[in-house]
A = this chain, B = another copy of it.
Amino acid sequence: MKYNQFKAMVITIASLPLGFSITYGAEQTSPNGKIRVHADVINGVPTYSIDFKGQEIIKPSTLGFELADGPDMMNGFKLMDVKTSSFDETWQPVWGENSNIRNHYNELHLCMDQPEHYRKMDLRFRIYNDGVGFRYEFPNNGVMTYFIIKEEKTQFAMTGDHKAWWIAGDYDTQEYDYTESRLSEIRDLMASSIYPNASQEQFSPTGVQTSLQLKTDDGVYLNLHEAALVDYSCMHLNLDDTSMVFTSWLTPDAQGNKGHHQTPCKSPWRTIMITDNACDILASNLILNLNEPCKYEDTSWIKPIKYVGVWWEMIGGGKPWDYTSDLPSVRLDSPDYSNAKPHGNHPANNENVKKYIDFAAEHGFDQVLVEGWNVGWEDWFGHSKDFVFDFVTPYPDFDIEMLNDYAHSKGVRLMMHHETSGSVRNYERHMAKAYDLMDKYGYNAVKSGYVGNMIPRGEHHYGQWLVNHYLYAVTEAAKHHIMVNAHEAVRPTGLCRTYPNLVGNESARGTEYEAFAGNKPSHTTVLPFTRLQGGPMDYTPGIFEMDMSKVDPNNNGHVNSTLARQLALYVTMYSPIQMAADVPEVYNKYMDAFQFIKDVPVDWDESKYLAAEPGKYIVAARREKGGKDWYVGCTSGEDGYEASLSLDFLEPGKNYMATIYEDAKDAHYLTNPQAYSISTKKVNSKTKLNMKAAPGGGYAISIKQL
């Protein structure tokens, strides 16, 4: 890294024309000059504000901490030094939307003393062309060596009653549908935004989660999130809906504290994306850039994955993960299934898994996920059961050696599944042996899960204890060259740059809810603005049968999407790990549409967002890694989306063959979701296509260079 440190420019504005007086200690702009951060200590209180194109976009907002073990760090500060610098480099991710990412920012670094308590605190701002990241830094000055956060009090003062796409602040789940409303409407809409979950705890009628997407009446898109959440409690935002000021609200531990810290240390970055084009939010690399470079020397073992799995027939089909109904309570210290009569409805059995392996091999998938392969599922949930799984003992009808051998003989791997049931002491105790087992049988990826309340009891999914655990699981996996796709873990914050074997997370309402209560048709037009800012989501798209009663007569659910849109999601929801989530029997009925899933890559050289509006539509185009072919996806909300699609991203002068998978004229996510048409067309960079997505629909296009 090359830093150009140059002398601080301290500007003091004694009096502003508008009649009020603010003294700004320092300021810094984005490289293109459009974003300007002002930061100072005003009457002892650290304060910042942000302008965008000369207009205030974040009003003066105070910064600080309430401590549980000493005087607060809210005031009494003195600005001691201001440093500025610039940085510009281009780096290459192991996998991603683009093979080159530019990290270009100007930095503003404030050094503060709190003389009464002999403490020091720094603020570091990095200003990008598409937003700002800032964090607190706590040097070790020999006096403040340890501290306990009672609350972080970072304000984000809005300039108005913006529109927001939000989910309820919750210490234990992120699996809510997004609500679109004005900030002032959050309070009234809060109760209706909450859907039951296996573990959940809200904290405020105006508390929301990040990444929070906002839009001002002037058409400025704001996005609030955090980057590089490491050994720190995950941040929510609590809105004062009179002043429209958000204040950070951390996740508490079992004792109600919000973080134990040791200097020298730093907070995660608090991020504010600011653009006047929605596509720029989607294209932003701000959060990845604020994370540390990759910590692994060898990353050759990290590979994007397209997979199928023994999963949807449980989630949507009502089949169980367990093996028997004879064991109401399984003691994992002496699991004895020898006398347990199988109920005969256990999908993770040799025959069924072989069927998926055959299907994966035939259609070019890398892996087959198998859930319910290991003993303990009979009583895994809702009992605060400590020793709930051992992660190494297969059910009697799952021959782990035979199945892996069979898969490998066909060029396919099995994907491991580790459901922890939230019991993380148990998981950590068994982790080494669990990873050893994976090594032994040739697994190189694990889908892990954290369903239900946590053990240690009283801890929350998004508290410091668990944040620490999730990363521990990833770094321990790396020692075994294992990739991790963690469900129900804390929402990602760009750590996949630093630890690229974290290939996926769920951390939001995924496709599984289509089998339960449905997702809003607009859901996939919001997720890329919010959840995906921090990293890829294992959304598990590819559902072709929308009428759940055809999967399970007892399931009256409906998948709120057209079939064509399910294809588009492989492009619009970027992830290096993509599932084709439906069952082989369904795919076999729609092999022409399934071809797109077979074709679409899971790693890219180049990505372009062509059109986007949260809640309405997203159109993305991506060029495959190391190739010349492009793939386009469009997902739309309740209103559908019709527009001309310019293919000007194609290489000029070259010809391509486009295969277009689109909603049929009369398609509709509710009434006619499986109506699609497939056509082919020669195209080039001058081609414009008139494309139409049905309500809750979309389209997918593969464009192969001729």
Interface residue ranges, A against B (CB under 8 Å): 140, 142, 145-146, 148, 253-255, 257, 260, 262-264, 328-329, 331, 379, 383-386, 425, 428-429, 432, 456-459, 465, 468, 472
Task: State in angstroms the CA–CA spacing of A385 and B260 once bound together.
Answer: 8
Also in contact, A384 and B146, with CB within 8 A (given A457-B253, A457-B254, A472-B429): yes
Q: Helix, strand, loop or mixed for chain A's interface?
A: loop
A146 touches B329 (CB 8 A): yes
Could you list some 27 contacts between A and B, CB below 8 A?
Answer: A145-B328, A145-B329, A145-B379, A146-B329, A146-B379, A146-B385, A148-B384, A253-B458, A254-B254, A254-B456, A254-B458, A255-B457, A255-B458, A257-B457, A260-B384, A260-B385, A262-B383, A262-B385, A263-B329, A386-B468, A425-B425, A425-B428, A428-B429, A429-B472, A432-B432, A456-B459, A458-B458
CB distance from A435 to the nearest CB of B (A): 12
Contacts of A383 in B (CB 8 A): 145-146, 262
CA A146 to CA B385, docked complex, whole Å: 8
Residue ID in chain B nearest A433 by CB atoms:
B432
Question: Which residue from chain B places its CB closest to the CB of A231 in the assembled complex?
Answer: B386
- Separation in Å of the A426 CB from the closest CB of chain B? 10
Extra contacts, 12 of them, besides A140-B329, A146-B385, A253-B458 (Cβ < 8 A), are A140-B328, A257-B457, A262-B331, A264-B329, A264-B331, A425-B425, A425-B428, A428-B428, A428-B429, A456-B456, A456-B459, A458-B458
Residues of B within 8 A of A253 (CB): 457-458
In the assembly, what is the distance between CA of A416 and CA of B429, in Å?
22
Q: Which residues of B contact A385 (CB under 8 A)?
A: 146, 260, 262
Chain B residues with CB under 8 A of A263: 329
Name the residue of chain B whose CB is nearest to the CB of A253.
Answer: B457
Q: B residues within 8 A CB of A429? A: 428, 472
CB-CB nearest in chain B for A431: B429
Most chain B CB neighbours (cut-off 10 Å) among A257, A384, A432: A384
A333 to chain B, nearest CB (A): 9
Which B residues touch A428, using CB under 8 A?
Answer: 425, 428-429
Pick the most buried of A145, A465, A468: most chain B CB atoms within 10 A of its CB.
A145
Tell me which residues across on chain B come within 8 A of A459, comparing CB atoms: 456
Query: What B residues does A260 contact at CB under 8 A?
Result: 384-386, 457
